[in-house]
Amino acid sequence: MFQPVHTSIVGIGELKPSLDAGGKSSLDLMAEAAALAILDAGLQKSDVDGLLVTPPSEDSYFLWPSQVAEYLQLSPVFMNMVELGGASAAATIARAALMVDAGICKNCLCLSGGIWDKQVFNTLEGKMAVMSQAEIDYELPYGPMGFNSGYALIARRHMHEYGTTPEQLAKIAVDQRINAMANPEALFKTAITISDVLASPLVVDPLHLLEIVRPCSGASAVIVSRFSPDLNKKHDPVVIRGFGEAYTHNSIAYAPSLTESPIKMASQRAFQMSGVETKDIDLVSLYDCYTITVLISLEDIGFCRKGEGGKFVEHTDLTYNGSLPCNTHGGQLSCGQTSFAGGMSHVTEAVRQLRGEAGVRQVKKNRLALVNGNGGVMSTQCCLILGRA
């Protein structure tokens, strides 16, 4: 049985998201992030004996963990690739905690990164590369716009069932932009208003351009080790209190519900393992590929009742100064979605906040953070509860 609090995050490393990787490869960026995390943890590379990677953005998937280990010249006792879409990064942390708790490895490097190439991403081939055969055969003939149309279906249905408004969804993008303005690493730091969001082009009605992530290049690394109070002299320790996962569908067309996601079960499992409740959480890092993703997450985790997410975000300050700080780095909406590492940015930001190292955007109450990774169209969910020791 997994023992919560026995494992901790001892090191983080993250590159500034960029729109131009300068000809570097995913491996180059991942190696840079790994070096930063090892330094941050006060470890030597030779101390790393476990490796969990998320998939590459453009390189061959074949033997990917082996490719990464070779580049870094690691010879781990355990390694694997975790492919759960946007939930992959959070899920590497859960799996690393299991491996470390079981004594299989001592220091597990969780590594994520990718290059964004517009020429590949915004083509028929790029869209098909992220579709199942069933989606290619039975959805593609009707012109879905990748993940955009899936999340648009959710937003429209939520508006129909609960009267959620475009203004309420836009508020999420506005609050996260305020957070990004306090983060020098963020890609987008110009102030925006609800009117700006609603005046941005309707890409897939009801979702506007400023409610949709901007893919970019970057990398992010986290090191998970057995917890010991004197493990890392440089930083306050951050422990993994628990995690929970849930899966119900691949394509949103076949989800049990458009408006209630498996985040509900994933977060309940994480709360049960960690022995805490929604009301105990001080800050959240919620996977934000779209504004509607954040709204559904807040409801399903229990910060408000199902259907009341619109009113909740309208009346709740989600900035680092607010009553429920959410995506204090700006989230992927304002920081950029660094391929699979976009999901890791939610982990690294929670760690910065729990350590008290978030600078001008440091939240006041920082005992307990909830991180959620979401993949596909609300398809794969991994919820982490992280806390100060």
Partner 1 sequence: MADYNDTYWQNISSGKLCLQYCPTCDKYIYYPRSLCPHCLQANWEWKELTGKGQVHSYTIVHVSALPDFQNETPYIYALIELAEGVRMPSNLIDCPLDEVRVGLPVELAFIERNGKTLPVFKPRQE
Residue 128 CB, shortest distance to partner 1, in Å, is 10
Q: Which is nearer to partner 1, 158 or 329 (CB)?
A: 158
Q: What is the dihedral of CA 220, 77, 48, 31, to 10 degrees?
A: -40
Q: Which is nearer to partner 1, 61 or 254 (CB)?
A: 254
Residue 93 CB, shortest distance to partner 1, in Å, is 31
Q: Which is nearer to partner 1, 223 or 292 (CB)?
A: 292
Residue 132 CB, shortest distance to partner 1, in Å, is 10
CB 222 within 8 A of CB 14: no
Burial class of 280 by CB neighbour count within 10 A (0 to 12, 13 to 18, 19+):
middle
Instruction: DSSP for 306-341, please give it.
Output: TT-HHHHHHHS--STTSSS-B-TT-HHHHH-B-TTH
- Alpha carbon of residue 256 to chain centroid: 23
Q: Which is nearer to partner 1, 113 or 150 (CB)?
A: 150
Dist CA 215 CA 68 (whole Å):
22
Residue 129 CB, shortest distance to partner 1, in Å, is 12
Q: Which is nearer to partner 1, 151 or 303 (CB)?
A: 151
Residue 275 CB, shortest distance to partner 1, in Å, is 36
Dist CA 4 CA 214 (whole Å):
35
What does the buried/exposed string (b/e) look like for 34-72 if buried means 16 or more CB atoms within 10 Å of the residue's CB?
Answer: bebbbebbebeeeebbbbbbbbbbeeeeeebbebbbeeb
Residue 257 CB, shortest distance to partner 1, in Å, is 11
Q: Which is nearer to partner 1, 251 or 278 (CB)?
A: 251
Beta bridge partners of 372: 286, 383
Q: Which is nearer to partner 1, 16 or 156 (CB)?
A: 156
Dist CA 89 CA 293 (whole Å):
17
Give Cα separations from 383 to 178, 318, 377 (angstroms).
25, 19, 16
CB 383 within 8 A of CB 263: yes
Q: Which is nearer to partner 1, 160 or 367 (CB)?
A: 160
Residue 312 CB, shortest distance to partner 1, in Å, is 22
Q: Look at residues 277, 259, 257 and name the one whose alpha carbon lies nearest to residue 267.
A: 277
Residue 389 CB, shortest distance to partner 1, in Å, is 45
Q: Which is nearer to partner 1, 164 or 285 (CB)?
A: 164
Nearby residues of 102 by Cβ (< 8 Å), 6 or more positions away: none
Q: Which is nearer to partner 1, 156 or 269 (CB)?
A: 156
Residue 217 CB, shortest distance to partner 1, in Å, is 19
Dist CA 335 CA 342 (whole Å):
9
Residues near partner 1, by CB under 8 A: 122-124, 126-127, 134, 137-146, 149, 152-154, 156-157, 160, 201-207, 251-254, 258
CB 379 within 8 A of CB 366: no
Residue 207 CB, shortest distance to partner 1, in Å, is 8
